[in-house]
Chain A
Amino acid sequence: MNWLDLLALGPHVFLVFGATSLLLLGAWCSKTRVILLSGIFVSLLSALLSGIAPPVDGDIAGLFSAGGYARFFTIFWFLTAAITLMISVRFSIELNLNAGEYVALVLFAALGMALLSSAIHLLGLFLGLEALTLAFYVLIASNRRSELSAEAGLKYLLLGAVATGFLAFGIGLVYTASGSLHLPEAFQGLQAEDGHLRAWGLLGWGLLLTAVGFKISLVPFHLWTADVYQGTPSPVAAFLSTGAKGAVVAGFIGLVISSGSAWKDLSDLLWVVAALTMIFGALGGLPQNNLKRLLAYSSIAHMGTVLVGILCQTPTGFSATIFYIVVYVIANLGTFGVIASFSRAGEEPEDLDQWRGLGYRNPLRCTVLTLLLLSLAGLPATAGFIGKFAIFHAAIQSGLVSLAIIGIISSLIAFAYYLKVVIVMFSPESQADRPSPGEPLEFGVLAACTTAVILLGLFPGPLFDLISKILP
């Protein structure tokens, strides 16, 4: 640690100071809205700081990168945290949450995401992942009036602990085999021909992938997803499905890029995992009648597609994956934002019956939801389509033709459940209970997400250019 490291960490330090100050402010100030608005301000300012900070050469204390890739995701996750706080304002006022703690935990989770995305050392990876998971254990259970929320928190805690065990043991074995925790060396060490410890290193790599699989819910490890999403309050679910998964994917891309040919040993296994994840995500969502469970299966399917992009192991594949993640995050934030804007005192319209006819009474928000769902499904002219197209194009280019075909077929199957929601919203029967009219901040978020999805769908070029520049 020296002054240069500290300078490069400036935005992170600012964010943590903001989080702890708001934690203290929460002890004296009982105005939930004030605390949440200052939380939004802190995260936006940190994002701005990491945008305008002068570039730093080298890395931060040997643990984290300070390059363009790290900075891109740092800004992105800080903005995601700001949006999460924007859609949590009404939720935390109506539920009388302890705003100081809530804001501090959201900001700390964002810090964990930023650190995880910029890890160039297995220790940094572990620390970032644990920071964000730890915050989510509490955030998921934050709706204390709901038993489902507590259940979801407990499930996430138990599976998170198991995943942490896998991760720590995997890192230990990788270190055993290669003698290094620093990223390019740690995995290149696995390839040494004379290494009699290579088997242990590969086992470690596999355990590490298992932990990643738990976090982004790849198929044998996906069982928690639907239950946890169902119990989690929508604003937190928005953050969980976007930031927590996206940051793990970003960190994982860093791992894969540096792994070189050590990757080849496990790519066949991951091929199967990706195919299963996409198929299961598409088929599992079909019978669901709960919107949040449906979105859980949608996120499983998306993570399968992301894995296809990573499996390409080419710069095109990686940039397609990053583009896909950005688009997925924006669309999912908006989708959960719509659910949050309809919620009243923690009661969210989850059951599809509650959405029946809502499209006629709240045409604006339901149209936004329709658009975002179609982007998640990958309808042409939305950003989701460009993302899917880029990933499958890269897959075909690098010879993964059958995987691309499986992906395209399962995307088509998944269309059915996205369309089911749209059809229900605009079907004539009307329900008696009135959802919340929403508030300006939420509408702002929805407008921003919609604009981004449309703009990225029509003009994806600039973002692709940016991504190809920052790719490490």
Chain B
Amino acid sequence: MASIMFYLLSLILLTATLLCIFQRNPVHAVLYLVLGFFSLAIMFYLLGAPLVAAWEVIVYAGAIMVLFLFIIMMLGLAPQDRPEGPGWQRWLPFVILMAAVLACTLVIIALDPAATAQGEPYSLGPQDFGEALFGKYALAVQVVSFQLLFAAVGAYNLGRIQRGKGKP
């Protein structure tokens, strides 16, 4: 059961990613990416990483994609003119894929509410995760946080308008 669902979700993930790449409208592309993240989250859950699954939804699908949408709207990148044809045709693939993802979620909840299919040896709880991250890989976390700091500094350095400092 779990492996059937895994391959089904992989198929959804691939389709959603391809649709994301080939969309002309950036807002639609972001929505397909969100869909891909949802199916990826369920795959993580099936692989015994519920925490990563939750983060995939909260951080990527939630926070980062909202940021993407926000930037697309702020820069006015979305096309203004409405394309030809009825609206449902454009939304049909998204609705079908989303329904499939939702169905997978419901099947997991219905058949396996205690998450026994994950198998004990592979399951990784939040505590193990935290210990590995801030114990064994503490140095890596430090390096990554410095990378983020310098990425922010660099982005600000390139993006700011220089006042009274020659031509920008």
Using Cβ atoms and an 8 Å threshold, which residues of chain A touch B136? 61-62
Verify B154–A131 contact, CB threshold 8 A: no
| Nearest Cβ on chain A to B164's Cβ, whole angstroms | 10
**A23 proximal to B (CB < 8 A):** yes
Cα distance, A446 to B112, chains bound together (Å): 71
Verify B137–A101 contact, CB threshold 8 A: no
User: CB within 8 A of B154: which of A1, A61, A135?
Assistant: A135
Q: How many residues of B contact A (CB 8 A)?
A: 23
Verify B167–A105 contact, CB threshold 8 A: no
Stretch of B32-40, B44-52, B93-101, B145-153 with 4 or more beta carbons under 8 angstroms from chain A: B145-153
Q: Closest residue of chain B to A9, judged by CB?
A: B139
What does the 1/0 interface line of B126-168 toward A look like (CB < 8 Å)? 0000000001111110011011011101110110001001111
Cα distance, A444 to B135, chains bound together (Å): 46
Cα distance, A5 to B146, chains bound together (Å): 18
User: CB within 8 A of B139: which of A1, A104, A130?
Assistant: A1
Using Cβ atoms and an 8 Å threshold, which residues of chain A touch B166? 95-96, 145
Highest count of chain B CB atoms <10 Å: which of A20, A111, A124, A127: A127
Verify A1–B138 contact, CB threshold 8 A: yes
A-B contact pairs, 28 of them (CB 8 A): A1-B135, A1-B138, A5-B139, A60-B139, A61-B139, A63-B137, A63-B139, A63-B140, A64-B139, A96-B166, A98-B157, A104-B150, A105-B150, A105-B153, A105-B157, A115-B143, A123-B137, A124-B140, A127-B143, A130-B147, A131-B143, A131-B146, A135-B150, A135-B154, A138-B154, A138-B155, A144-B158, A144-B162
The chain B residues found within 8 Å of chain A, CB to CB, are 135-140, 143-144, 146-147, 149-151, 153-155, 157-158, 162, 165-168
| Nearest Cβ on chain A to B122's Cβ, whole angstroms | 13
Verify B153–A127 contact, CB threshold 8 A: no
Cα distance, A64 to B137, chains bound together (Å): 12
Verify A131–B147 contact, CB threshold 8 A: yes
Using Cβ atoms and an 8 Å threshold, which residues of chain A touch B168? 144
| Nearest Cβ on chain A to B130's Cβ, whole angstroms | 15
Q: Closest residue of chain B to A133, judged by CB?
A: B147
Verify A138–B157 contact, CB threshold 8 A: yes
Using Cβ atoms and an 8 Å threshold, which residues of chain B touch A123? 137, 140
Chain A residues 182-198 with CB under 8 Å of chain B are none
Using Cβ atoms and an 8 Å threshold, which residues of chain A touch B153? 23, 101, 104-105, 138
Using Cβ atoms and an 8 Å threshold, which residues of chain A touch B139? 1, 5, 9, 60-61, 63-64
A interface, size bucket:
35 or more
| Nearest Cβ on chain A to B121's Cβ, whole angstroms | 14
**A16 proximal to B (CB < 8 A):** yes
Verify B167–A145 contact, CB threshold 8 A: yes
Q: Closest residue of chain A to B138, judged by CB?
A: A1
Verify A108–B146 contact, CB threshold 8 A: yes
Cα distance, A36 to B20, chains bound together (Å): 45
Cα distance, A9 to B138, chains bound together (Å): 13
User: CB within 8 A of A101: which of B144, B154, B167?
Assistant: B154
Using Cβ atoms and an 8 Å threshold, which residues of chain B touch A124? 140
**A137 proximal to B (CB < 8 A):** yes
| Nearest Cβ on chain B to A162's Cβ, whole angstroms | 14
Verify B165–A96 contact, CB threshold 8 A: yes
User: CB within 8 A of A105: which of B135, B140, B154?
Assistant: B154
Verify B151–A61 contact, CB threshold 8 A: no
Chain A residues 1-19 with CB under 8 Å of chain B are 1, 5, 9, 16
Q: Closest residue of chain B to A16, judged by CB?
A: B146
**A141 proximal to B (CB < 8 A):** yes
Given A127-B143, A138-B158, also A108-B138 (CB < 8 A): no
Given A62-B136, A63-B140, A101-B153, list of 12 further CB < 8 A pairs?
A: A9-B139, A61-B136, A61-B139, A63-B137, A95-B166, A98-B157, A105-B153, A105-B157, A115-B143, A135-B154, A144-B158, A145-B167
